[in-house]
Structure 1
Amino acid sequence: MDILETAAYDRRQRRNMSCALLFYLLPFFLSAALYFYLRTPDSPSSIIGAGVKSAPALLLAAVVVSWNGGQSLLGVAGGLIFSAVGDACLVWSDLFIHGMGAFAMAHLMYSLTFLSSRYSEKSTPSWKLYLSLIFFIVGAAFYMYIYPSLKKAPNSDLIVPGVAVYTFLISLMGTLAIRTGHTPTVLGSLSFIVSDVALSLQLFKVIPNLEHGNSIVMVTYYLAQLLIAVGDVKAEANKNEFAKWKRS
């Protein structure tokens, strides 16, 4: 009976946590909805537009800090803040390099977090190692595919090496996310990659702009950040549950 009662208690705790987390995420959902409501194809670049676009990532950072504490500013919460900076920069086309640099820092912080003890497994299955190798090969192939278009872009002397570094960092983030085995984290990293692929193909004129191209980019992007944030909260919760189990 004790075991059954403990299992039932754990299920109630997880259910209560999910409900509380959903409540905390309501501002994120409202801010994302506001962005799509206000955004139009001919929207001018403005500080207000930058604020509306970056608000969802900042609100997710606040959720992660409120659940995991200030140390998360050096992890996923910090990555979300850098992402918000990148969101604001990309509102103005002449700040693209700055935005890409901010997102590169976000991927680096995510990667370092995914290597922490809260995520890491005792051993990495061989299939994950093969999948990581495939990730980097696909990333390199995609870079070579868009390389001719990068050469034609303004400031190509910065764009070409910058995109190469960025491609490496997002590929690294994706491989380390898969290594964690956390479903929200894995799906979040994959959604982030889909968003960046869709953005780069259109931004660098590899393909014509899609009719709903911006919506595809932003929906997958906001979804990615949401899943990565939720994955970080749950990873911390799992660590605390494991610590309690060891002490009992």
Structure 2
Amino acid sequence: MDAREEGLPLETLLSDQHPQVRRWLVPFILACFLYFLLWIPVDQPSWVSALIKCQPILCLVVFLWAVAPGGSYTWLLQGALVCSAVGDACLIWPEAFFYGVAAFSVAHLLYLWAFGLSPLRPRVLLCTSLASLTYYSFLLPHLKPNMVLPVSAYGLVLNSMLWRGLGWGGSAGWGAVLFVFSDCVLAWNTFVSSLPFARLVTMSTYYAAQLLLTLSALRNPGLKTH
């Protein structure tokens, strides 16, 4: 079954017609609120801060289990969310940076797998690749030598996910765009120069991106009703 053929507009999914969608989104919204309310300093890494950071993503995993139809697309999205949560936890500790990059790379590969390669849309790939090459031409000179290869590899996977997300369209496309934007702000703030409100921008667009990617799994008539 092609999710694109039966995808529902966001305003329909969040309307009174599908109350279970709104009900199961409440934990995600509350978890995001808790993260921004506590705003644990980044120089105080702990398992508590890791859990608070991961909670919204884990809530989306439960949301898919509760609301979305079964099938490979939903399962791949759940796998991507779990890997993202692992990446979030790893990035709490600077020494676990490479593990975080690896976890997010797997997450993007799972999103890529879910989106598939049809329609191919080579023009979209050309546009995203040119934008990616331009960005990384400014970023890479600021990296330590041991970071150039893993960051470049991650950038390649991220660009591929963006290409296929835009090819899939709908909330998946917007989610992919926001995910890339979040990562670009994070990388620039970390390796090049400090940006105002960088953490706020990074995390708000990141959570929004994951939400939009998650909502792309919802389609009619497969919505659960329990």
Q: TM-score of the superposition, structure 1-length normalised?
A: 0.78
Q: 1:223 aligns with which of 202, 208, 219?
A: 208
Mark the CA change 1:73 to 1:180 in structure 2 (over 3 Å): closer, same or farther.
Answer: closer
Shift of 1:211: 3.2
* Paired position in structure 2 for 1:69: 70
Contact 2:162 2:176 in 1 (8 A): yes
Task: Give the partner amino acid of 1:144.
Answer: S
Q: Whole-Å Cα distance in 2 between the matches of residues 185 and 65 of structure 1? A: 18
* Paired position in structure 2 for 1:7: none
**1:92-131 superposed matches below 5 A:** 92-115=93-116, 120=118, 123=119, 128-131=121-124
Task: Give the partner amino acid of 1:87.
Answer: D
Tell me, yes or no, if structure 1 residue 169 matches structure 2 residue 157: yes
Tell me, yes or no, if structure 1 residue 184 matches structure 2 residue 184: no
Shift of 1:129: 2.6
Q: Deviations over 1:125-180 (max 9, x none)?
A: xxx43122110121122122111101xx3xx32x1111111111111111101111
- Give the SS at the match of 1:48: helix
* Paired position in structure 2 for 1:138: 131
Task: Give the partner amino acid of 1:141.
Answer: T
Contact 1:28 1:59 in 2 (8 A): yes
Mark the CA change 1:46 to 1:12 in structure 2 (over 3 Å): closer, same or farther.
Answer: closer
Shift of 1:71: 4.6
Q: Whole-Å Cα distance in 2 between the matches of residues 61 and 41 of structure 1? A: 26
- Give the SS at the match of 1:68: coil
Q: Deviations over 1:161-211 (max 9, x none)?
A: 111111111111111011112x2111100000010000000111x12x223
- Give the SS at the match of 1:82: helix
* Paired position in structure 2 for 1:198: 185
- Identify the range of structure 1 (223-232 vs 40-49) with the bigger mean alpha-carbon deviation: 40-49
Tell me, yes or no, if structure 1 residue 36 matches structure 2 residue 36: yes
**Which structure has the bigger radius of gyration?**
1
Q: Whole-Å Cα distance in 2 between the matches of residues 231 and 12 of structure 1? A: 13
Q: Whole-Å Cα distance in 2 between the matches of residues 77 and 104 of structure 1? A: 15
* Paired position in structure 2 for 1:148: 141
Shift of 1:41: 3.8
* Paired position in structure 1 for 2:59: 59
Mark the CA change 1:211 to 1:138 in structure 2 (over 3 Å): closer, same or farther.
Answer: closer
Root mean square deviation of aligned Cα? 2.4
* Paired position in structure 2 for 1:6: none
Equivalent pairs counted in the alignment come to 212
Q: Structure 1: which 5+ runs fail to align?
A: 1-10, 242-248
Task: Give the partner amino acid of 1:215.
Answer: L
- Higher RCO (Cα < 8 Å, 6 or more apart): 2
More helix by share: 1
- Give the SS at the match of 1:228: helix
Q: Whole-Å Cα distance in 2 between the matches of residues 17 and 91 of structure 1? A: 40
Q: Whole-Å Cα distance in 2 between the matches of residues 221 and 63 of structure 1? A: 17
Q: Whole-Å Cα distance in 2 between the matches of residues 42 and 177 of structure 1? A: 31
Task: Give the partner amino acid of 1:115.
Answer: G
* Paired position in structure 2 for 1:82: 83
